[in-house]
């Protein structure tokens, strides 16, 4: 292991000879105000092309870049959109959505910053985020309450948008309704003639936010029918799946909604290793419509999720920043459609 030396006195931490806008002004032979106008692209003041060029060249020569923090202090606000890094394991679907969102916000001239606040919750997390003085905060998952929203707004955030299964007072909400995912899956199994439906609930931390509403949705789908829903806790590892498969017969189930495609692959393999036929002995459906489902034999049925468009969400953030007094918007953004293949 590497040795961490004792930190030196704080004075020595200050960067040495960092070029300032005054240096640029001196080299270009203009005022500091002119440097600021040119480098911040202010349109309010007309500056001749040769002067502009001189300032840019001096900045390049000295290696000067404007200081975002100083600029936002002067302006009284920043263009920073803060996104706390999600506390749950992120799948490829979500990654793609985040990438699209960052691109769309970048086009509207916002700077998206992702920030991990490991192990902090609600108020405490909100205070950490507030220290960065973001103009907007986009919170995926849960973990932010009305008090956290208040802290953020009081520190100058003009928009707080949550992205998850529940709305929070004072914040805009993109509601991801995971009940519809479970509902669609169980309904499909019911329509295929199955009556004793298992629903996998991952044992991993952070996923109950998605698994609980999926289970609720599945129960709702077969309410007032002759079908039953059985909760099946399962960790993402082979041994637990083998144990579950070994007692499959005693459970009396004829179908399973396996939470998502990855858990479906895990459980389907364990069932097949036990000699059970898919879908004969057990119909299996996953969710997320990942590539791997198409590569399984039998091919995996799945629930395809339609994520919100990053462009729409970026537009909502921008709208909210320009009108912070507007009533919170609520949008339900998660679509769910069954893709029927061979496993169900």
Scan residues 198-257 and list those touching a copy of itself (CB under 8 A): 236-238
Binders in 127-146 for a copy of itself, by CB under 8 A:
127, 130-133
Helix (H) or strand (E) holding 175: strand 172-175
Q: Report the C-alpha gap between 154 and 177 in whole angstroms.
A: 29
Binders in 37-76 for a copy of itself, by CB under 8 A:
62-70, 72-73, 75-76
Asked if 29 touches a copy of itself (CB under 8 A), the answer is no
- What is the smallest separation between the CB atom of 230 and a copy of itself, expressed in angstroms? 23
Residue carrying structure tokens 């000295």: 62
Asked if 337 touches a copy of itself (CB under 8 A), the answer is no
Query: Which lies closer to a copy of itself via its Cβ, residue 10 or residue 193?
Result: 10
Question: Both tokens of residue 321?
Answer: 């920043």
Strand partners, 243: none
Asked if 1 touches a copy of itself (CB under 8 A), the answer is yes
Query: Which lies closer to a copy of itself via its Cβ, residue 191 or residue 330?
Result: 330
Q: Report the C-alpha gap between 313 and 4 in whole angstroms.
A: 43
Q: Report the C-alpha gap between 59 and 39 in whole angstroms.
A: 9
Asked if 39 and 66 touch (Cβ cutoff 8 Å), the reply is yes
Asked if 113 touches a copy of itself (CB under 8 A), the answer is yes
Q: Which span (153-161, 201-209, 277-285, 334-342) binds a copy of itself, by CB under 8 A?
A: 153-161
- What is the smallest separation between the CB atom of 225 and a copy of itself, expressed in angstroms? 33
Binders in 270-289 for a copy of itself, by CB under 8 A:
none
CA dihedral 273→274→279→281, nearest 10 degrees, is 170
Query: String of b and e for 282-312 (b: at least 16 CB within 10 Å)?
Result: bbbbbbbbbeebeebebebbbbebebbebee
Q: Which of 77, 121, 220, 341 binds a copy of itself (CB under 8 A)?
A: 77
Q: Which span (126-134, 184-192, 197-205, 336-344) binds a copy of itself, by CB under 8 A?
A: 126-134
Site string for a copy of itself, 316-335 (x = CB under 8 A): x-xx-xxx------------
Q: Report the C-alpha gap between 328 and 123 in whole angstroms.
A: 20
Binders in 290-319 for a copy of itself, by CB under 8 A:
291-292, 294-295, 297, 311-312, 315-316, 318-319
Binders in 162-191 for a copy of itself, by CB under 8 A:
none
* CA–CA distances in Å: residue 104 to residues 90, 110, 313: 20, 9, 9
Asked if 74 and 40 touch (Cβ cutoff 8 Å), the reply is no
Query: Which lies closer to a copy of itself via its Cβ, residue 189 or residue 316?
Result: 316
Query: Which lies closer to a copy of itself via its Cβ, residue 26 or residue 77?
Result: 77
């Amino acid at each position: 292991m590497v040795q961490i030396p004792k930190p030196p006195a704080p004075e020595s931490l200050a960067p040495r000879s960092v070029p300032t806008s005054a240096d640029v002004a001196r080299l270009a032979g203009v005022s500091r105000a002119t440097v600021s106008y040119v480098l911040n692209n202010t349109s309010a003041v007309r500056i001749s092309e040769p002067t502009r060029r001189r300032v840019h060249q001096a900045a390049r020569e000295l290696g000067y870049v404007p200081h975002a923090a100083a600029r936002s202090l002067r302006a009284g606000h920043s263009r920073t959109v803060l996104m706390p890094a999600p506390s749950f394991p992120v799948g490829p679907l979500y990654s793609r959505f985040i990438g699209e969102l960052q691109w769309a916000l970048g086009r509207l001239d916002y700077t998206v910053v992702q920030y991990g606040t490991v192990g902090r919750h609600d108020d405490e997390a909100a205070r950490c985020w507030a220290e960065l003085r973001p103009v907007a905060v986009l919170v995926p998952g849960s973990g932010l309450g009305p008090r956290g929203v208040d802290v953020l707004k009081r520190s100058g955030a003009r928009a707080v948008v949550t992205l998850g299964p529940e709305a929070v007072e004072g914040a805009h909400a993109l509601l991801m309704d995971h009940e519809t995912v479970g509902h669609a899956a169980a309904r499909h199994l019911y329509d295929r003639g199955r009556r004793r439906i298992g629903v996998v609930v991952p044992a991993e931390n952070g996923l109950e936010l998605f698994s609980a509403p999926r289970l609720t949705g599945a129960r709702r789908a077969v309410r007032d029918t002759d079908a039953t829903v059985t909760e099946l806790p399962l960790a993402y590892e082979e041994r637990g799946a083998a144990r579950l498969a070994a007692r499959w017969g005693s459970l009396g189930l004829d179908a399973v909604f396996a939470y998502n495609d990855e858990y479906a692959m895990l459980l389907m393999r364990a069932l097949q290793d036990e000699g059970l036929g898919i879908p004969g002995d057990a119909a299996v459906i996953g969710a997320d419509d990942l590539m791997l489902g198409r590569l399984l034999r039998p091919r995996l049925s799945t629930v395809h999720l339609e994520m919100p468009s990053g462009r729409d969400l970026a537009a909502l953030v921008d709208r909210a920043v320009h009108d912070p007094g507007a009533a919170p918007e609520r949008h339900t953004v998660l679509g769910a459609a069954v893709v029927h293949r061979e496993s169900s």
